[in-house]
Amino acid sequence: MSAREIHVPGNGRTLDAYLAEPKAAGGRHATIIIIHEIFGLDDHVRDVTRRFADQGYNALAPNLFTGPLQQVMTPANVQIAMRALAEAPPGLRSDPSKFQQFAASQPAERRPILEAFATVTDPTTQDGFALDLLAGSRYLRGLPSVDPARIGAVGFCFGGSVVARFATVDPELKAAVIFYGQRPPLERVASIRASVLGLYGSEDPGITGTVPEFAEAMKRAGQRFDYHVYPGARHAFFNDRRPNYHAESARDAWQRVRGFFGKEFA
């Protein structure tokens, strides 16, 4: 396995990215796009990217915060935003206008952080990120090391939400894994052509509570959606560098992901 920092095309911009490639040289390989959490392209995401390469995949982790956002959306600043939001009225994050009002009411040093947080979690911005991934997947399909018929994606938290939207705009995407991310708009589910696997924690009701309606919409659209809810697991249970890490659930989830991509790319 080899890994390096590269640049890839986005939607009208260039993205920083981390690429890990399998040890086996030559030929075309199945490729997985890994989408980071709200903390950005950090060491955990790079580790997951290398794990996929060790399984024989090309693995690409683009940094969707490339540019000015990257300077603000640091792990420390995200923690500040989360602490502020823990004290905010419920439902704030689902209403962009109220979020902006809340940000304006905070101490001056918090405002840029909360405004950036509001930007990256806004549905319109996430639609733009999905188009970045579409541009990236088209770029990948033109590479000699990539099998264009075997491209998948996996995203975590924020990244899971973006992957869900990505699946609605890329009809050539073969498989998608959503780790505790928000479902896509239900009216767009019929556009999904990829098989989808969802992995959720029982102690994450804001996310997990929306899964049954997503599953029903996928069923009506005739699309495959398998999902599993881990008892006792909280949000971000897969991230072994965060306090919510749940080792047993994470181990099982990794095996499910490996089996899912192995079957879809067979």
pLDDT tens string 141-159: 999 999 999 999 999 999 9
pLDDT, tens only, 167-208:
999 999 999 999 999 999 999 999 999 999 999 999 999 999
> Is residue 75 scored above 70 in pLDDT?
yes
Catalytic residue among 235, 240, 246, 252: 235
Q: Which of 44, 157, 170, 246 is catalytic?
A: 157
Quote the Cα angle for 11-12-18, to 5°.
Answer: 60
Q: What is the pLDDT of residue 94?
A: 67
- What is the pLDDT of the chain when averaged over all its residues? 94
Q: What is the CATH number of domain 2-67+124-264?
A: 3.40.50.1820
Active site residue 226: no
Q: 91: pLDDT confidence band, cut at 50, 70 and 90?
A: confident
Which pLDDT value is given to residue 202?
A: 98
Query: What are the b/e assignments for 233-261, b being 16+ CB within 10 Å?
Result: bbbbbbbeebeeebeebbeebeebbeebb
Whether residue 108 has pLDDT greater than 80: yes
- Annotation marks residue 54 as catalytic: no
Q: What is the pLDDT of residues 114-129, one digit of tens each?
A: 989 989 988 999 999 9
pLDDT of amino acid 93: 67
Please, where are the H alpha helices in the chain?
Answer: 43-54, 68-72, 75-86, 96-104, 111-121, 123-141, 158-169, 205-208, 211-220, 247-264
Of residues 16, 132, 170, 204, which has the active-site annotation? 204
**Domain extents for the chain?**
2-67+124-264, 73-121
pLDDT tens string 25-39 = 678 999 999 999 999
Question: What's the predicted TM-score (pTM) here?
Answer: 0.95
Percentage of the chain exceeding pLDDT 70 = 99
The set of residues, in sequence order, having a beta carbon less than 8 Å from that of 241 and lying 6+ positions away, is 42, 43, 44
